[in-house]
Amino acid sequence: MTRSPVVLAIAAAFLVSCATKQLALAPATAAPPDWWREHVRFMCADGGAWITPNPQAPEAPGGPDAYGMTWTRASHGRLLTGRLYGLKEGREVAEYWTFNEYYHAGEGRVIVQQWSSWGAYGEGETTSPAPNRCQLDQTFWLADGSSRREGHRTMENGDEYETQIYDIDAEGKWSLRDSNTWRRAQRSADTWSERVR
């Protein structure tokens, strides 16, 4: 069955009209906020690799002696992808988490999603309460179907950043559970170490 040029022209005009209406509905603030652009730049600078010691290493000799994270940017700075892994004598020994952190232009917010090697999934939102500071409020669903809420507060400073980890109860109260200081890392052959400046 052949279509007449008039029918095709009407269909094309309708499609262009729909697309134009959708573009007009797009929010004027679709660009990521400045704090997000700076956060992406900070996390990905100098190769995007970070390292922190494992304070429990002396009590768990078979475990990692440090943790590493690597971040890369994509989609013109709207997306961060990352991974968290264990290090033993500078070598990667296990991968624990993979991350997507992205700016959702339609909702005007930054969303974090993460997946563990044991089947847990986390999702939440990152905000910036002050310059060089981020706050993440997220829910984790474990492989057995249970869930828990957790928060992170980070302070970015030069070649390091501090992360404070909180449990969040049903009333929304944040209780400090742990903290880590991450430093920029460098790779030499197949081992990681803190970057020396």
**Lowest mean pLDDT across 13-22, 53-62, 109-118, 143-152:** 13-22
Size of the chain, expressed as the number of residues it contains: 197
**Lowest mean pLDDT across 81-85, 157-161, 186-190:** 186-190
Burial of 81 (0-12, 13-18, 19+ CB in 10 A): middle
Instruction: Give the residues across from 51 on adjacent strands.
Output: 68, 183
- Whole-angstrom Cα distance, residue 183 to residue 193? 9
Q: Which residues of 133-170 are buried (b: 16+ CB within 10 A; e: fewer)?
A: bbbbbbebeeeeeeeebbbbbbebeebebebbbbebee
Question: Considering Cα of 62, then 67, then 73, then 75, what sign does the dihedral take?
Answer: positive
In a domain, 65, yes or no: yes
pLDDT at 59: 78
pLDDT at 112: 97
In a domain, 167, yes or no: yes
Render 56-123 in DSSP notation, one character per residue: TGGG-TTS-SEEEEEEEEEGGGTEEEEEEEEEETTEEEEEEEEEEEEEETTTTEEEEEEEETTS-EEE
13: pLDDT strictly greater than 70: no
What domain range includes position 54? 31-194
Identity at 96, one-letter amino acid code: Y
Domain count, the chain: 1
In a domain, 18, yes or no: no
3: pLDDT strictly greater than 50: no
The CATH number given to whatever domain includes residue 187 is: 2.40.128
> What is the DSSP code (8-state) at residue 33?
P
In a domain, 97, yes or no: yes
In a domain, 110, yes or no: yes
pLDDT at 194: 61
**CA nearest to 48, candidates 144, 182, 141:** 182
| Bigger pLDDT: 71 vs 26 | 71
Report yes or no: 59 and 45 within 8 Å, Cβ to Cβ: no
In a domain, 14, yes or no: no
**Lowest mean pLDDT across 30-34, 144-148, 188-192:** 188-192
In a domain, 3, yes or no: no
In a domain, 84, yes or no: yes
pLDDT at 33: 92
Q: Which two tokens stand for residue 20?
A: 């134009």
